Amino acid sequence: MPCSEPESIDFSDDNEEEATENRGSEFNHTYVEDFGSEDPSSTSGETGENDMRILIATDIHVGYGENKGVIHDDSVNTFEEILQIAAKEQVDFILLGGDLFHENNPSRDIMCKTVRLLRKYCLNDNPVYIEFKSDPSVNFNHSTFTRVNYDDCNLNVGLPIFTIHGNHDDMAGMGLTALDELHESGLVNLFGKFEQVEEMTVSPILLTKGTTRLALYGVGSQRDDRLNRAFEKKKINFLRFGAEAEEWFNLLVLHQNRPPRSTSRSTGNYLPVKYIPSFFDVVLWGHEHECKITPEYVDVSAKMDGDGFFIIQPGSSIATSLTPEEALPKHVSVLTIRGRKFQSRPIKLETVRQLIVKTIVLDKTPPKTSLPYPGTREEDMYDEILVIETVKELIKKAKETRGARQPALPLIRINLVYAGVWEHVKVYGGRPLWTMFADQVANPTTMLLTKKMKQKKEKEKARVNEFDFSVFDKSTTCIEDMVSEVLSFVDFDHRLTVLTDDVLKHALRTYTRDQTSVTAANKKLDDLLNHKVRREREREKEREREREKLQKVTMDGMEKEIDNEVKKMKEMFYSAISEENRQKSRANPDEMF
């Protein structure tokens, strides 16, 4: 049975792109807590015929910890829970903000488990109520299949998934991500993929349900510096309708650093919200792992109050680092859109492993306790006893608060800070903890993190290896050029001999830009380094010969000078003796013998 062509809306001359301008105040109040008569929390897909219901999530990181004994299935289990929530809520589709996988090239085991789950929950006879109105050959121009997966008569998709790529599933090698495999197999719809960030035109996916119209924009993960400069130069263009632009609910999906990540780079290594056009209603922000599920309003216009948008940051679905931000409860959200208004209902994930983080600062000497000599330790010291008791306390807390679907063993992190009088004490290594709590926590070898907080001293003069990054040319767009610029500011005496800037540039270009396997790239780097080592050895031998030659010349000259001095001394000495003897012989010749 042939597939029928879906009705689409194109961006022809009579629908010219509208400039990004501030919209009127009547469109500002889009977030509501209750829609009223039509209940958006209903699990029936047939009720609320104008309500477009979307389950939003980001940073699922399927495959994280797959080689770690206890937590190897955590990410897969949580991904299945997300799919179960979507099926239970009977949402119209799932929207992911990047980093579905933890590795760019997931293992066969992880890919197989992912495909099984997608086939189990997404391929079924459930009706799909949303209509695809844009040109799929534009939205999915990276694929040879020019239609959304649920409109393909060869597939039986009952739960569509739309996703952008994150930095963990970035475009390496041939410009492909692990998500491209899922897209080409019809399991997900990958959008927002751009090979060139210097200048891009973002065309939205247009979806409708009843009278609700959604313009879905996506920009997959890009280097923050490059994206920042592209926005500065106004090289990023978001397509909109002219007369009908305000009838569409505009949603943008990003995967970038949200707060500044660098004080040395002029761009701050993040995407400032000021660059995001104010016509958007909601921005789904991926990459940040801290869960900020409540919509946060951002006013980006100084010309008009209320001319901004809402940011929803679901955060990661599992903890990939042992930090206080990751220890917060994990959520997804059901986003319900009706006309130009939306409602966000958070849903707490129940299968996420517990993570408890506690910081202990040692800066005073405890009562009736003396500290050992600097750089030494004694048995059963105060810090060791304190850490052990704290771990026991946190394990007890985890047992009391554990949910029915949470794994038995918690993740625990104790940040032990040595400051003040403890600054010179040898830190506690924590090895006994590995065996003491091996069967009570999921991460016995990484429970303890120690740090010494030294007293602040007057700012020292910049050392040779400290660079002022503000001198960089803002046109630098690739890592190899940045490395070259950094090394150009190093004086000659402190430059590297083998890992020169040309070697580093060549290696970085091979790993990041050339279409080369990792094994082949490693071999190229090894060959290049071996060549440089051989050259340096030859040069060192040549320098050694020069030094020996110079040393020989110098020694010969010194010997001649010494011989001359000895000769002079001998002449003076023997001439003095001869004169003395002559005088004696004149006085008494017999005394000479």
Over 60: is that where the pLDDT of 406 sits?
yes
pLDDT band at 560 (very low <50, low <70, confident <90, very high): confident
**What local confidence, expressed as pLDDT, does residue 263 receive?**
67
Scored b (16 or more CB within 10 A) or e, 317-349 reads: bbbbebeeebbbebbbbbbbbbbbebbbeebeb
Residue-wise pLDDT tens digits, 37-82 = 545 444 444 457 899 999 999 999 999 999 998 999 999 999 999 9
Tens digits of residue pLDDT in 258-315 = 888 776 666 678 888 888 888 899 999 999 999 999 999 988 765 444 578 999 999 9
CA distance 216 to 218: 7
Among candidate residues 467, 499, 496, the one with its CA nearest the CA of residue 482: 467
Residue 544 CB-half CA count within 13 A: 6
Q: What is the pLDDT of residues 201-248, one digit of tens each?
A: 899 999 999 999 999 999 988 888 888 888 888 889 999 876 677 889
Structural tokens at position 207: 């979806």
Catalytic residue positions, numbered = 168
pLDDT of residue 14: 44
Positive or negative torsion for Cα 40, 45, 48, 51:
positive
Number of Cβ within a 10 Å radius of residue 520: 12
Answer for the pair 109, 66: CB distance below 8 angstroms, yes or no: yes
Distances (CA, A) of 282 to 165, 223, 292, 336: 19, 22, 14, 12
Rounded Cα distance between 76 and 62, Å, is 6
